[in-house]
């Protein structure tokens, strides 16, 4: 009887440890960045909003946002749970086809910009910027400039938790939302 009770207790401890490990492995505090093509395909199978982080390699504020905002475990885990997160270089040279349209890099003076970044940002290239799309690829908003953890948390929850879909105005939401993130 003692052996059976001990074996049962051991099995319960092992199962508890494994379920804890499995549930925590899904939340590792790192954003699962994917391509726009991958996000579109995944959204067809499991509809979610898509957030596109538009950056450039030379952009200091983009790097700071990666180090502070996107690397915050609560932001990363929420993005992975509610969105398909896309990291897109505004100066990428690779053509990208979305639906029937192909977007390309366009040389402008000494530099250039990718047409997809230009389209998503409505011609106003400001880096970093995040663009939120619904699961049908309609643009919901552009979040321009560097966003700290608290502000990004607010914006992500506004769209991710469906406040936008319910017709709640941003000003009302922003005034009443209380972040659970502590820096």
pLDDT per residue rounded down to tens, the chain (183 residues): 444 433 333 333 333 333 333 333 346 779 999 999 999 999 999 999 999 999 999 999 999 999 999 999 999 999 999 999 999 999 999 999 998 999 999 998 888 999 999 999 999 999 999 999 999 999 999 999 999 999 999 999 999 999 999 999 999 999 999 888 875
Task: Note whether residue 59 is domain-resident.
Answer: yes
Q: Each residue of 60-93: b (16+ CB within 10 Å) or e? A: eebeebbebbbebebbbbbbbebbbbbbbbbbbe
Task: Note whether residue 92 is domain-resident.
Answer: yes
The answer to whether residues 37 and 96 touch, using CB atoms and an 8 Å cutoff, is yes
Residues 74 and 22 in one domain: no
> What is the pairing mode between strands 49-55 and 83-89?
parallel
Structural tokens at position 44: 């067809």
Residues 81 and 99 in one domain: yes
What is the CATH number for 95? 3.40.30.10
Residues 22 and 88 in one domain: no
The answer to whether residues 167 and 159 touch, using CB atoms and an 8 Å cutoff, is no
Residue 58 buriedness (CB in 10 A; 0-12 / 13-18 / 19+): exposed
The answer to whether residues 129 and 52 touch, using CB atoms and an 8 Å cutoff, is no
> Which residue from 20, 46, 25, 17 is spatially nearest to 34, judged by alpha carbons?
46
Q: How many domains does the chain have?
A: 2
Residues 6+ apart with CB under 8 A from 49: 82, 83, 84, 132, 133, 134, 135, 140, 159, 160
Range of the domain at 18: 1-27
């Amino acid at each position: 009887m003692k052996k059976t009770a001990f074996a049962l207790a051991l099995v319960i401890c092992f199962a508890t440890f494994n379920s804890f490990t499995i549930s925590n492995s899904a939340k590792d505090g790192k954003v699962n960045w994917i391509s726009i093509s991958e996000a579109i395909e995944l959204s067809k199978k499991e509809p979610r909003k898509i957030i596109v982080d538009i950056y450039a390699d030379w952009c200091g504020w983009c790097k700071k946002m990666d180090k502070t905002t996107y690397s915050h475990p609560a932001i990363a885990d929420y993005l992975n749970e509610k969105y398909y997160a896309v990291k897109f270089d505004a100066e990428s040279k690779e053509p990208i086809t979305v639906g029937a349209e192909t977007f390309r890099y366009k040389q402008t003076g000494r530099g250039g910009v990718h047409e997809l970044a230009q389209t998503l940002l409505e011609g106003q290239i400001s880096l970093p910027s995040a663009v939120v799309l619904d699961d049908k690829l309609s643009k919901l908003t552009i979040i321009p400039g560097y966003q700290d953890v608290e502000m990004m948390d607010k914006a992500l929850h506004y769209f991710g938790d469906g406040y936008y879909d319910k017709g709640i105005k941003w000003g009302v939401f922003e005034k009443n939302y209380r972040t659970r993130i502590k820096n």
